[in-house]
């Protein structure tokens, strides 16, 4: 966690024992008032930024019975991992370009709306190298969580900087892991959201609508769209078709929608393949299955 900006070594300069008597703000590294003190601040000097060593900081404000001033404001943000939802941005390892901390695990998620994909391009890369990247590494997965398909596990000197990477869907998930010794500069990359046309991962939403892409009034030729609906683990998913008009074919060879349970169409159970003929009687209820919280839809047009 970063308070204002990184400046690790100067936090004691404003600490004043005398602040105990009147009004003060106290910052401690940890979860309660017994945690190690970082500083106790009063007066009109703005205290220095502070970068925490853990994910908890204890901050206490105390004022006495007389004399008050305008008080204080503190901004904070996480500095190890995080979720990035802007259209473009830069993601870095903690403290970059200074050496990253040891013994950390930082999870990053880039999340974009349906119909978008993500492209990342590295600007800097230096992570302690080892066989199979067993010490420090950056793991990148093509999806929204640690079970999504692995794009790569990266470590090493700048010559091993990964090439640009593009996601299939609207999420990229990353984990940066460091061990107890040897820290390097880490990494920095920029990301850009680009149009993927259709499909995407729909995660954590209790309801929603998805639809075929449209080109004027009809869907375009030669299109392939994949949607993955992932809801909370204890829930089930009901699909209800609101409208349906695809090219007629008794074997669904031309244009069709397939629905699968589980993560990927290749591994999942095929629930049904729909075109205008087959779906006529199934149109209103596609599937309700207990024990499956992920439904994948493929649409070939
Ligand atoms: Ca290391
Ligand atoms: Ca067609």
Contact 151, 189 (CB under 8 A): no
Q: Hey, where are the domains in the chain?
A: 2-77, 82-195, 199-301
Distance 84 CA to ligand 1 centre (A): 25
Q: Is the full-model pTM beyond 0.75?
A: no
Contact 230, 297 (CB under 8 A): no
Give the number of whichever ligand sits closest to the CA of residue 256: 2
- Domain 199-301, classified CATH 3.40.50.300, yes or no: no
Distance 51 CA to ligand 1 centre (A): 20
- Nearby residues for ligand 1 (ion, Cβ within 5 Å): 128, 135-136, 179, 182
Q: Are 2-77 and 199-301 the same fold in CATH?
A: yes
**Amino acid 144: pLDDT:** 94
pLDDT digits (tens, 9 = 90+) for 103-127: 999 999 999 999 999 999 999 999 9
Q: Are β-strands 224-230 and 200-203 bridged in parallel, bridged antiparallel, or unpaired? A: parallel
Dihedral (C-alpha) 203, 204, 208, 209: value to the nearest 10 degrees? 0
Most confident of 8-12, 192-196, 295-299: 192-196
Distance 98 CA to ligand 1 centre (A): 14
Lowest mean pLDDT, pick from 52-66, 96-110, 179-193:
52-66
pLDDT digits (tens, 9 = 90+) for 160-178: 999 999 999 999 999 999 9
Most confident of 10-19, 110-119, 279-288: 110-119
CATH number of 82-195: 2.60.120.290
Whether residue 295 has pLDDT greater than 60 = no
**Amino acid 197: pLDDT:** 82
Distance 96 CA to ligand 1 centre (A): 15
CATH architecture of the domain with residue range 2-77: Sandwich (2.60)
Distance 246 CA to ligand 2 centre (A): 8
Contact 280, 252 (CB under 8 A): no
**Amino acid 2: pLDDT:** 59
Other C-beta atoms lying within 10 Å of the C-beta of residue 154: 22
Q: How far apart are CA 119 and CA 117, in angstroms?
A: 7
* Average pLDDT of the segment spanning 53-63: 90
Distance 122 CA to ligand 1 centre (A): 20
């Amino acid at each position: 966690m970063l308070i204002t900006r990184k400046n690790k070594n100067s936090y004691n300069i404003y600490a004043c024992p005398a602040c105990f008597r009147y009004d003060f703000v106290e910052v401690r590294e940890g979860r309660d008032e017994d945690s190690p003190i970082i500083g106790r601040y009063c007066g009109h000097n703005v205290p220095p930024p502070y970068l925490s060593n853990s994910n908890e900081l204890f901050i206490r404000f105390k004022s006495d019975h007389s004399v008050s001033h305008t008080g204080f404001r503190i901004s904070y943000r996480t500095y190890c991992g995080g979720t990035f939802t802007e259209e473009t941005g830069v993601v870095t390892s903690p403290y970059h370009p200074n050496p990253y901390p040891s013994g950390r695990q930082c999870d990053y998620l880039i999340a974009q709306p349906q119909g978008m994909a993500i492209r990342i391009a590295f600007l800097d890369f230096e992570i302690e190298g080892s066989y199979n990247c067993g010490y420090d590494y950056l793991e990148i997965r093509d999806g929204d969580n640690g079970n999504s398909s692995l794009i790569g596990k990266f470590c090493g000197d700048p010559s091993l900087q990964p090439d640009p990477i593009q996601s299939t869907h609207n999420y990229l998930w990353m984990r940066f892991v460091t061990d107890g010794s040897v820290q390097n500069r880490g990494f920095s990359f920029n990301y850009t959201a680009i149009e993927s046309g259709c499909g995407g991962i729909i995660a954590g939403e209790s309801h929603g609508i998805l639809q075929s892409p449209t080109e004027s009034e009809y869907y375009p030729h030669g299109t392939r769209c994949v949607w993955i609906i992932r809801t909370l683990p204890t829930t089930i998913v009901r699909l209800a078709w609101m409208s349906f008009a695809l090219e007629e074919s008794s074997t669904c060879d031309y244009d069709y929608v397939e629905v699968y349970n589980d993560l990927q169409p290749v591994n999942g159970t095929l629930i049904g393949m729909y075109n205008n003929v087959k779906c006529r009687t199934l149109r209103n209820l596609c599937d309700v299955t207990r024990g499956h919280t992920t439904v994948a839809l493929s649409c070939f047009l």
